[in-house]
Structure 1
Amino acid sequence: MKLSDPWRSTASRLGRLRAAGARQAAAWNERMLAEDADETRRGTRWGRSTLAALPAVVAIGALGSALAGGALAAGFNVTHQPFTLTSNGVAGDGFGLIVNTPALGGPDGKTRTDTGMTRVGFSEARLAGLCGVVHQSFAGLPYSLLLTAGQEVKGGSDGGFTPDIAAKNLYLQATGLQSRGATRLENTVIGQSADQVEVAGEPLAGAQPGGFGLGSAGGKGGASISLRGLDARAHAAEIAGSMELPGLNLRVVPGSAKSC
C-alpha cells in the first residue's frame, strides 16, 4: 500500500526530526562530558539539555506532581532494571520483611516470576538523608537521574546517625539490602511464616504460606529495626502514606553516576 503525498510528507518530516534529535543529543552529551572533565561548576543546563533529558524530565514531573508542602505520596519504579537507594541510617517501627518472587517485566516484553527478592515494609520510618540513583539512556546515550533529600549521604560511614526524613507506610522491593554497621532488631520473630507478617495491619504483597518472614512478636508498636548505612538495590519504592523530604533535589547528569 502506497502512502498518499500528505502522509509521505509527514513521515519524512518525522524521520528528519528523529535524526536531528539524535545528533543534538550526541552533541549535548559531548559538551557535558567535556565541561565536567575541566572540573568547572556551571550548574544544571535545563534549557540546553531538554532534548537528551526528556525521559528524565518526565520522571521528575511525575514525582513533582505528587509533591505538596514537602510531602511525597507516590510509587517509584524503573522498568526492566533496578536502581540504588542509600541512606546514612534507618530506624523504623511496625517493621516486616518477607521473601517473594514478584512479577518483573523484561526487555523482551515478557513477565517473569523467577527472581527471589525481599519485600520490606515500615509503618513508620525515619531516615538520615536519602540518595537515589537511576540509570537510563536516550538516543543511545547514558544519563543518570539523581534524587537527594535531607542530609548528605556519606558512603562508608558506620557511625551513629540522626534521622531528618520521616515516612509512613514505606515499602521497598529489592534484590539486595545491606547495612555498613550494627543492626538492632526489637520485638521481632525471625523465620515467621511470610503470610503472617503484617505492616500497618496488612500482609506484605506476594507473601506465601511457609515462606520466610521476619515480623512482630506482638505488643504495642510491633517489630522495630535500626540500621546504619542502608544500601539497597531496589526494583520499587512505594510510599502508601507520605514522606517528608527536606531539601528535595532532582537532577540529571551525563553518564552512569555511582552516587549522589
Structure 2
Amino acid sequence: MSSQVRGGTRWKRFALVMVPSIAATAAVGVGLAQGALAASFSVSGQDFKVSADKLDGENLIQYGGIAKGNDLKTGKPVDHPVTISGFSNAKITNMCQSLVTPTPLGNITLQLKTGHKGTPAEATNIYLDVAELDTDAEFTNLDIGVAVGDPSHKTKPQAGTVSSPYAFSQRADRAVLTNVKQKAWATTAGTFKLPNLKLRLVGGDQPCYQDKDVRD
C-alpha cells in the first residue's frame, strides 16, 4: 500500500492526506455556518454509501434538488437528482461511510466508522444530498407540501440549492430513522463531532453495505 504504482498514485501519501481532511470537516463546517464559505459546490464523480443504526434529527426540512458534477471517466457535466434533507441537529449511532475506488491494484475501499462505542456522532446544521435511502422512519409533527421558501421553516434550505421558493417540501419537528442505508453525493454540516473515529483503506469492494442487503 505504501509503494508507488503505475499511474503515479502514492497510497501512503493518499492515506495521510485523507486523515487530516476528515479532521478539518468541523472547521470547514463552521465557515459554512458563519457564511464565510459558499455552500453550493460541484460534487465529485463518485457517490458514497452511508449506513447507521439510528439517525435522530431535529427540525427536518426535505426537498428535491440537483447535485451538479462531472462524469469520473469522461469529465462531461452530469446532473444528479437528489433529495436534500436538512436538520438543525442530528445524532447518528454506529455510522459507517464508504467509498469504493478502482485503481491499477484493483478496487480500494475507504471506510470511515464513528459513533459505535456508546457515544453517537453529532452534527449541527447538517444537509444530506441523497440519491437512495432505505430506512424505517418516524416523524413528529410532520407537514407535507410546505413551500420550500416558507419562512416558518426552522431549518432553512441550503444556500444555492433552491430553484424556486415555491417548490414542494416537507418538514417535521423530529425525524428518527433506524436501519439506515443510503447513497449520497454530498454532506455538509456546521459542526460534525466524530467520536472514536476509525478510518481505514482496505483492499477490494467492501462498502458499508451490499446492494443485496437493501430491501425491495
TM-score range, shorter chain: 0.7 to 0.9
Structure 1 match to 2:146:
192
Q: Secondary structure at the match of 2:14?
A: helix
Structure 2 match to 1:175:
131
Corresponding residue to 1:251 among 169, 179, 200 = 200
Q: Secondary structure at the match of 1:103?
A: strand
Q: Secondary structure at the match of 2:196?
A: coil
**TM-score of the aligned structures, taking structure 1 as reference length:** 0.64
Corresponding residue to 2:176 among 217, 222, 226 = 226
Q: Between Structure 1 and Structure 2, which shows a larger proportion of helix residues?
A: 1
CA RMSD of aligned residues (A): 3.1
Taking structure 1 as reference, are residues 55 and 73 closer, same or farther at Cα in structure 2, changes over 3 Å only?
farther
Taking structure 1 as reference, are residues 237 and 197 closer, same or farther at Cα in structure 2, changes over 3 Å only?
farther
Kindly provide the amino acid, as one letter, of the partner of residue 61 in structure 1. P
Please show how residues 48-67 of structure 1 align to structure 2 within 5 Å.
51-66=10-25
Structure 2 match to 1:136:
101
Please say if residues 61 and 155 of structure 2, whose CA atoms lie closer than 8 Å, have aligned partners that are also in contact.
no
Query: CA–CA distance in 2 between the matches of 1:199 and 1:257?
Result: 39
Structure 2 match to 1:104:
69
Larger Rg: 1
Q: Secondary structure at the match of 1:204?
A: coil
Q: Secondary structure at the match of 2:149?
A: helix
Kindly provide the amino acid, as one letter, of the partner of residue 243 in structure 1. F
Q: Between Structure 1 and Structure 2, which shows a larger proportion of strand residues?
A: 2
Taking structure 1 as reference, are residues 109 and 24 closer, same or farther at Cα in structure 2, changes over 3 Å only?
closer
Query: CA–CA distance in 1 between the matches of 2:109 and 2:153?
Result: 32
Query: CA–CA distance in 2 between the matches of 1:61 and 1:106?
Result: 26
Gaps of at least 5 residues in structure 2 are 33-41, 210-216
Q: Secondary structure at the match of 2:11?
A: coil
Query: CA–CA distance in 1 between the matches of 2:174 and 2:70?
Result: 33
User: Post-superposition shift, 1:193?
Assistant: 2.1
Query: CA–CA distance in 1 between the matches of 2:102 and 2:153?
Result: 36
User: Post-superposition shift, 1:78?
Assistant: 6.6
